[in-house]
């Protein structure tokens, strides 16, 4: 039941995100006088629709996107009949666009908008997703908060571990913290003369001081005490999130050498502010942009794994089906200490990530994506500005973006292929929480 709830939450959230994305296009288009003949969530056969005013609103069978039909998307062109299949595709697009324009409403065609208004309409969808992500991030950062370590000591490691697992065994010497007399509940005020306010400050002070003796000021039972710690230099094996050793190019386990004290912090839930929310959102946007920029490589790796066998990495790129599976696992996984509230937080985080992905992906400057239309509008505006500066009259007309239709069809086919590959991989060799 929990799995089904997770999937339903994700699907509903995804559909709402898509629906609001299209609202982001439709509202400014209508405000600028463009006739919007259709507003649809999904593709394929229509499941339900109603006409209100001049717009048909509906839901289609395949919930993998949506669209608003803006009348007169493409300019009529120059009237030249160029030979070739690509020219025919462009001319077909122009003719289909012209057929949608009602008599007497030529001024309401999208292509007649100024370049600036076209950019606003095309960016309205992606920026709606960015706004949704900001709101969801705000709920998480300012409403729920995040678990962060504090400067209060929760535990003292009794020894200097010599095993990769970090467990104490017979013969291990006492840890510097145990020798110095640090106790659980102590609040670290300063380390080696450096005042500390966060656990990050503590770890940075330990690293900066190295294996030199350090005076540690702690607050214990309302009073301050000074202790002397003699850190030890410890070389450890680097492990990944699953605890497996990380290997170098030669196949040998990587190691790291650092000063070791042997204290662990308590944690508490801390709520952030607006600035923290924006910082978190920006980190998510830049991280997603890096993933999108390496998408061909990642898709290749998924395809190779699908053909040769093996497990997908936890950070592997996924389709909507894969993310839906993860949402289902969040609802059904029996993990100690994970509450219903924690599951809701993860679902909200997934939906925020989805909206960031929709924002970044739609800004790719290729038709039929929104970014491709933005590039066309910017080119049109730049061409007119250059002509204005040169004193040319009349100014150039709307850009003939229909000429880019062959590229749009090519991009569409590639996107369908990538989606199909990822969906198959998510069904055959899925990324799982375990």
SS3 assignment, position 233? strand
User: How would you classify residue 233: left for phi > 0, otherwise alpha for psi between -120 and 50, otherwise beta?
Assistant: beta
| Structure tokens given for 269 | 């839930």
Judge whether 252 and 245 are in contact, CB under 8 Å: no
Cross-strand bridge partners of residue 194: 191
Phi, psi of 202 (to 5 degrees): -65, -50
70 strand-pairing partners: 36
Helix axes 2-31, 115-138, angle to 10 degrees: 150
Structure token digits, residue 271 = 């709520």
Tell which residue, 30, 104, 119, has the closest CA to residue 68. 30
Of the candidates 40, 35, 93, 46, the one whose C-alpha atom is nearest the C-alpha of residue 67 is 40
C-alpha span between 343 and 179 (Å, rounded):
41
Catalytic residue (one of 22, 95, 173, 380) = 22
Kindly give, in sequence order, each residue whose CB lies less than 8 Å from that of residue 63, ignoring residues fewer than 6 positions away. 11, 14, 15, 18, 41, 42
Annotation says 204 is catalytic:
no
Q: Are 24 and 350 in contact (CB under 8 A)?
A: no
Active site residues: 22
């Amino acid at each position: 039941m929990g799995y089904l709830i997770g999937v339903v939450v994700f699907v509903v959230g995804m559909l709402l995100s898509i629906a609001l994305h299209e609202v982001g296009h439709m509202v400014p288009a209508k405000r600028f006088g463009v006739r919007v003949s259709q507003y649809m969530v999904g593709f394929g056969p229509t499941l339900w629709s109603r006409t209100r005013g001049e717009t048909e609103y509906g839901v289609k069978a395949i919930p993998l996107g949506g669209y608003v039909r803006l009348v007169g998307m493409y300019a009529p062109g120059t009237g030249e009949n160029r030979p070739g299949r690509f020219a025919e595709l462009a001319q077909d697009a122009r003719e289909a666009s012209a057929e949608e324009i009602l008599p007497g409403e030529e001024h309401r065609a999208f292509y007649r908008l100024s370049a600036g208004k076209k950019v606003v309409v095309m960016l309205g969808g992606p920026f709606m997703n960015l706004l949704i992500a900001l709101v969801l991030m705000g709920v998480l950062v300012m409403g729920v908060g995040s678990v962060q370590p504090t400067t209060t000591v929760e535990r003292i490691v009794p020894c200097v571990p010599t095993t990769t697992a970090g467990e104490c065994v017979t013969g291990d010497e006492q840890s510097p913290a145990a020798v110095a007399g640090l106790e659980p509940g102590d609040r670290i005020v300063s380390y080696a003369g450096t005042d500390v306010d966060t656990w990050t400050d503590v770890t940075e002070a330990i690293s900066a001081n190295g294996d030199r003796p350090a005076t540690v000021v702690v607050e214990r039972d309302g009073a301050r005490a000074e202790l002397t710690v003699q850190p030890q230099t410890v070389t450890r094996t680097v492990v990944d999130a699953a605890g497996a050793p990380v290997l170098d190019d030669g196949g040998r386990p990587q190691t790291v050498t650092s000063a070791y004290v042997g204290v662990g912090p308590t944690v508490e839930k801390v709520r952030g502010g607006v600035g923290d929310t924006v910082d978190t959102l920006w980190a998510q946007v830049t991280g997603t942009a890096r993933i999108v920029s390496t998408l061909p490589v990642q898709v290749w790796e998924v395809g190779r794994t699908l053909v040769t066998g093996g497990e997908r990495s936890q950070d592997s790129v996924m389709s909507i089906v894969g993310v839906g599976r993860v949402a289902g696992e969040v609802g059904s996984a029996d993990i100690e200490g994970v509450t219903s509230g924690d599951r809701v937080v993860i679902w909200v985080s997934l939906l925020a990530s989805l909206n960031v992905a929709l924002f970044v992906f739609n800004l790719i400057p290729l038709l039929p994506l929104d970014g491709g239309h933005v590039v066309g509008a910017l080119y049109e505006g730049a061409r007119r500005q250059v002509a204005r500066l040169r004193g040319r009259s009349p100014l150039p007309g709307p850009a003939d973006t229909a000429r880019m239709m062959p590229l749009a069809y090519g991009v569409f086919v590639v996107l369908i292929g990538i989606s199909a590959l990822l969906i198959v991989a998510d069904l055959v060799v899925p990324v799982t929480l375990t």
